[in-house]
Chains A and B, each alone.
Chain A
Amino acid sequence: DIQMTQSPSSLSASVGDRVTITCRASQSIGSYLNWYQQKPGKAPKLLIYTASILQSGVPSRFSGSGSGTDFTLTISSLQAEDFATYYCQQSYSTPHTFGGGTKVEIK
Chain B
Amino acid sequence: EVQLVQSGAEVKKPGESLRISCQGSGYSFTNSWITWVRQMPGKGLEWMGRIDPRDSHVDYSPSFQGHVTFSVDTSINTAFLQWSSLEASDTAIYYCARQRSLDFWGQGTLVVVSS
Instruction: Name A residues whose Cβ lies closer than 8 Å to a Cβ of B.
Output: 1, 34, 36, 38, 43-46, 49-50, 55, 87, 89, 91, 94-101
B103 in contact with A98 (CB, 8 Å): no
Contact B47 A44 (CB under 8 A): no
Closest-CB distance, B62 to chain A (whole angstroms): 7
Q: Is B88 part of the binding interface, using a Cβ–Cβ cutoff of 8 Å?
A: no
Question: Is B53 an interface residue when CB atoms closer than 8 A count as contact?
Answer: no
B16 at the interface (CB under 8 A from A): no
Cβ of B64 to closest chain A Cβ, rounded Å: 9
Which residues of chain B have a CB within 8 Å of any CB of chain A? 35, 37, 44-47, 49-50, 59, 61-63, 95, 97, 100-108
Q: Is the interface of A mostly helix, strand, loop or mixed?
A: loop
Q: Is the beta-carbon distance between A34 and B102 smaller than 8 angstroms? A: yes
Taking a contact as CB atoms under 8 Å apart, the answer to whether B61 and A94 are in contact is yes
**Contacts A95-B61, A95-B63, A98-B44: A43 and B106 contacting too (C-beta < 8 A)?**
yes
Report Cα–Cα, A89/B47, bound state, in Å: 9
**9 closest A-B pairs (Cβ-Cβ)?**
A95-B61, A49-B101, A43-B105, A98-B45, A94-B59, A101-B44, A96-B47, A91-B100, A46-B103
Residues of chain A with a CB closer than 8 A to B107's CB: 43
The answer on a CB contact under 8 Å between B47 and A49 is no
A43-B108, A95-B47, A97-B47 known; A34+B101 contact, CB < 8 A: yes
Query: Roughly how many angstroms separate A91 CA and B47 CA in the complex, as a whole number?
Result: 10
A-B contact pairs, 24 of them (CB 8 A): A1-B62, A34-B101, A34-B102, A36-B45, A36-B102, A38-B45, A43-B106, A43-B107, A44-B45, A44-B102, A46-B102, A46-B103, A49-B103, A50-B101, A55-B103, A87-B44, A89-B47, A94-B49, A94-B61, A95-B47, A95-B61, A95-B63, A98-B45, A100-B44
